[in-house]
Amino acid sequence: MNQKPRIIRLGLAQPDVIVGDFAGNYNKLLRVLDDARRQKVDLTVFPELVICGYPPEDLLLKPQFIERNVQYLNKLVQASVGLDVIAGFVESDTYLYNAAAVIHDGKLIATSRKIFLPNYGVFDEERYFKPGADCSVYVIGGVKVGLSICEDIWHSNNPVASLAKAGAEVIVNISASPYHYGKTKERVALLTSQARQNSVIMVYNNMVGGQDELVFDGHSLVLDAQGEILARGKQFEEDFVVVDVDLDTVANRPFQEKENLSQGLTQRSWTVGLTKVSEAFSESEKPSLALRVNEEYSPDGEIYNALVLGTRDYIVKNAFRKVVLGLSGGVDSSLVATIAVDALGKDSVIGVSMPSRFSSPGSQTDAILLAQNLGIKFFSLPIDDTFQSYLDNMAGIFDGSETDTTEENLQARIRGNLVMALSNKFGWMALPTGNKSEMATGYATLYGDMAGGFAILKDVPKTLVYKLVAYRNLLAGYDIIPQSVIIKPPSAELRYNQLDTDSLPPYEVLDLILKAYVEDDETVEEMVALGMDEEVVRMVVRLVDGSEYKRRQAPPGIKITTRAFGRDRRLPITNKFHGNF
């Protein structure tokens, strides 16, 4: 007997929500629900903790924050008439749980709790939540859907196989997964193997947007039981991915009630409303996803766009309209200005040159040329008179002492003061321009070039800065960041003929050591065994360990590597242990 194909139309929403903005977030979700109705979506999926935003951190300790989150979940439930919806929220029941609500036709049918709580890297979930005891398979519109939350599918004891064994045809994972380079590949690899090994359709729904130091990249995915990607959400953009999935591609499993799953997980089943398997749709109605499936950024393009989104969201979500930064004519400030323009538009970026007696003429002309290429407002504030007034003031006290980094730091701090004065006077957020190689080695001045609200390149090594500049110039089709900026040897220009290489190894060498030491916790022996020069390695390790106090006072920045400075790497300042043995 000839049957209609069993097809479920999935809608994966990846809204850019704001932590604590319950009303604003809710309105975004409402617009998605309208869209879902219009497109006849069978199951609409929202990300982890979409109601309150992620990560709420210690706001979770405030009872009224939890209440507010429950109020808005209930509003979402009431607004879901005629729809099936899965959405992340904070469940409160003696303890707090990172949970998913299963909603059918205006009713909260069930909640499912996150089992594996990440408490490493940037995550502190065990500080707030208790783990869920089990995961479940829900019959939604006649389709057996296994539900999991973020870490649940990443953990070595992940319940994917158990859910499949329990009869799940589709496994939904709602996530708020912070971006770092290479993670996209990791995700696809994991989901592909899980889909294939368990012959299930994997539905990965991820949040999008910047939240302080984290960027959530969206890039939601739907894979068929063969591990082929059926649909892909936009990366670094809000999106609502609608895709029809043919369930006949999944071996139709016997539904095993109350089967006892491995890893102490028990399995329940819920019949959510009536069976309402979609009709097959006419071509015209069918959403075309072919293009999306092929859309992918180059590695450098991916990082660049992460920085743009992280910058835009930090500035805008904190209610700033414009930014100001010092343009030295160097490659770091040139890249920061370019990212800022891509994030906010040229009318929102102000560049200021602050030359001293040590500034090369080339640096100033390069800064002007960049400002012209970007079409941003630009002016110049020379610092020499102010510098001299400090020196005169301290002449008596400094009498007889050598000129040293004190005078260099002073120039950087005068520039910091000028940029902050512009920030205070006009309400522009100041953007420091330092990169990760400088943050790591302390080759930066506290309260000087480190001063500002948001350090876009804080987690970007110098060698990557050059790659991102090349990417952006290629995209522009011309040297929007001038070649003269790129080819000049890096210099802080705080004394005559100064070069970064006077104090640091060449960046190609330095960044390799920093990756090994900071990101991979390699010992000096291990790094030397990798062929790195022992003396250089020891020097770099000393610099990194000795700069912890500086980093502790650095502004927030955007995490793009596997280990950023900040809460991703929590080291004591007072510390006599050094990696150098």
H-run or E-run covering 377: strand 377-380
The answer to whether 349 and 321 are in contact (CB under 8 A) is no
At closest approach, how far in Å is the CB of 75 from its own copies? 16
Kindly indicate which of the ranges 78-86, 185-193, 210-218, 237-245 contains the residues binding its own copies, using the contact rule CB under 8 A.
210-218
**Residues 457-516, interacting with its own copies (CB under 8 A):** none
Residue 393 in contact with its own copies, rule: CB under 8 A? yes
Q: Which of 52, 91, 114, 515 is catalytic?
A: 114
Binds its own copies by CB under 8 A, chosen from 416, 442, 482, 557: 416
To the query of whether residue 135 is one of the catalytic residues in this protein, the response is no
Residue 94 in contact with its own copies, rule: CB under 8 A? no
The answer to whether 328 and 295 are in contact (CB under 8 A) is no
Between CA 294 and CA 549, with CA 558 as vertex, the angle to 5 degrees is 155
Nearest to 244 by CA among 8, 41, 45, 44: 8
Residue 400 in contact with its own copies, rule: CB under 8 A? no
Contacts of 222 (CB under 8 A, 6+ apart): 10, 12, 201, 202, 203, 204, 229, 230, 231, 232, 241, 243, 245
Q: Which of 125, 135, 144, 150 is catalytic?
A: 150
The residue among 99 and 554 lying less far from its own copies, judged by its C-beta, is: 554
Contacts of 488 (CB under 8 A, 6+ apart): 330, 362, 363, 366
Residue 124 in contact with its own copies, rule: CB under 8 A? yes
Nearest to 171 by CA among 262, 68, 250, 243: 250
H-run or E-run covering 336: helix 331-344
Quick check: helix, strand or coil at residue 191?
A: helix
Q: Which of 48, 408, 438, 493 is catalytic?
A: 48
**How far apart, in whole angstroms, are the C-alpha atoms of residue 486 and residue 329?**
10
At closest approach, how far in Å is the CB of 393 from its own copies? 6
The residue among 17 and 201 lying less far from its own copies, judged by its C-beta, is: 17
Using CA atoms, how far residue 205 sits from 46, 87, 562, in Å, is: 7, 10, 21
Kindly indicate which of the ranges 38-46, 179-187, 533-541, 566-574 contains the residues binding its own copies, using the contact rule CB under 8 A.
566-574
The residue among 308 and 331 lying less far from its own copies, judged by its C-beta, is: 308
Neighbour count for residue 281 (Cβ, 10 Å): 14
Q: How many residues sit in the footprint of its own copies (CB under 8 A)?
A: 85
Residue 399 in contact with its own copies, rule: CB under 8 A? no
Residue 218 in contact with its own copies, rule: CB under 8 A? no
Kindly indicate which of the ranges 169-177, 237-245, 499-507, 552-560 contains the residues binding its own copies, using the contact rule CB under 8 A.
552-560
The answer to whether 368 and 378 are in contact (CB under 8 A) is yes
The answer to whether 180 and 560 are in contact (CB under 8 A) is yes
The residue among 345 and 546 lying less far from its own copies, judged by its C-beta, is: 546
Residue 95 in contact with its own copies, rule: CB under 8 A? no
The residue among 11 and 53 lying less far from its own copies, judged by its C-beta, is: 53
Residue 576 in contact with its own copies, rule: CB under 8 A? yes
The residue among 488 and 569 lying less far from its own copies, judged by its C-beta, is: 569
Kindly indicate which of the ranges 75-83, 245-253, 329-337, 546-554 contains the residues binding its own copies, using the contact rule CB under 8 A.
546-554
Residue 573 in contact with its own copies, rule: CB under 8 A? yes
Residue 414 in contact with its own copies, rule: CB under 8 A? yes
**Residues 28-67, interacting with its own copies (CB under 8 A):** 52, 55-59, 61-65
**Residues 304-363, interacting with its own copies (CB under 8 A):** 313-314, 317-318
The answer to whether 472 and 480 are in contact (CB under 8 A) is yes
Residue 227 in contact with its own copies, rule: CB under 8 A? no
Contacts of 420 (CB under 8 A, 6+ apart): 430, 451, 452
**How far apart, in whole angstroms, are the C-alpha atoms of residue 434 and residue 333?**
8
To the query of whether residue 48 is one of the catalytic residues in this protein, the response is yes
Residue 157 in contact with its own copies, rule: CB under 8 A? no
The residue among 46 and 72 lying less far from its own copies, judged by its C-beta, is: 72
Residue 21 in contact with its own copies, rule: CB under 8 A? yes
Kindly indicate which of the ranges 93-101, 119-127, 261-269, 469-477 contains the residues binding its own copies, using the contact rule CB under 8 A.
119-127
At closest approach, how far in Å is the CB of 259 from its own copies? 26
H-run or E-run covering 39: none
To the query of whether residue 91 is one of the catalytic residues in this protein, the response is no
Kindly indicate which of the ranges 17-25, 220-228, 330-338, 475-483 contains the residues binding its own copies, using the contact rule CB under 8 A.
17-25
**Residues 432-461, interacting with its own copies (CB under 8 A):** 446-447, 451, 453
User: How far does Cα 408 stand from its chain's mean position?
Assistant: 34
**How far apart, in whole angstroms, are the C-alpha atoms of residue 500 and residue 248?**
62
**What is the 3 state secondary structure string of 269-294?**
EEEECCCCCECCCCCCCCCCCHHHHH
DSSP state of 550: H
Q: Which sequence positions are flagged as catalytic?
A: 48, 114, 150
